[in-house]
Every structure is written in C-alpha cells, then in structure tokens.
Amino acid sequence: PAGMVLSVLVILLLSMLYEAVKMGKAVLLQRALLALPRSLSQEALTEPQEGDTNPAQGRGFPISFRRWFRYHVGQTLFHVVQVVLGYMVMLAVMSYNAWIFLAAIAGSALGYFV
C-alpha cells in the first residue's frame, strides 16, 4: 500500500509539473514574440557597419534577434522537458491501474488550476 500511495503521489506531481512546463513554454513564446522588431525595416535587418560605436550590437546581429534567439532556445528546452514528462505520465497510465490513471487526471487538473 505504501508503494502504491507513493506512485500515485509521484504521478500526481509529474502531471502537475507537465502543466507548469506547458505554461512556461507559452510565457516564453509570448516574450519571444515581443522581442521581435516591430517593423522589418532595412535598419533592423542589416548588420552594423565597421564604424559603429554601439557595443550592444556586437557579433553582427541586432539585439532583438539575439534576445529572440535566447527565448527560442529556452522554448526548445521547455519542449524537450514537456515531451519527456508527457511520455513518463503516458507510460504510467499504460500500466492500466485505475489509481495511477486518476492521479494523472487529478494532477493535470490541479496543475492547470494552479
């Protein structure tokens, strides 16, 4: 009985964590979209000239692109974690145990609510 209770709690927490990662990925997507330049003008797309003294535009890319790229890398990492958690919960549910199934459902509901 103690092992079953522990299994149910672990699956409940994994389901909640899955929902939290899904929300974190959505927040990063919103920030990535806000980091994109508002207009695709020639100044926003060109690389800085050699005479430019703005040190913030080093490495040849505009700041907005570098910020967007960091958000995109973060989204990719969140996606990998989300897929791994999703498959772990799915494998637990595939044990065809009713308590594990109910823990996955309850964890998903609680995670979404929180």
What's the pLDDT score for residue 105? 96
User: What is the model's pTM?
Assistant: 0.72
The residue segments making up the domain with residue 86 are 77-113
- Answer whether residue 95 is part of any domain: yes
What's the pLDDT score for residue 47? 53
CA pair distance 72, 32, nearest whole angstrom: 7
CA pair distance 66, 82, nearest whole angstrom: 24
- Answer whether residue 82 is part of any domain: yes
- Answer whether residue 106 is part of any domain: yes
Cα 66 versus chain centre, distance? 18
- Answer whether residue 6 is part of any domain: no
For the chain, how many structural domains are there in total? 1
- Answer whether residue 94 is part of any domain: yes
- Answer whether residue 4 is part of any domain: no
- Answer whether residue 104 is part of any domain: yes
SS3 54: coil
What's the pLDDT score for residue 59? 57
10-residue mean pLDDT profile of the chain (114 residues): values are: 94 96 89 73 54 53 76 89 96 95 96 93
What's the pLDDT score for residue 109? 96
What's the pLDDT score for residue 96? 94
What's the pLDDT score for residue 68? 79
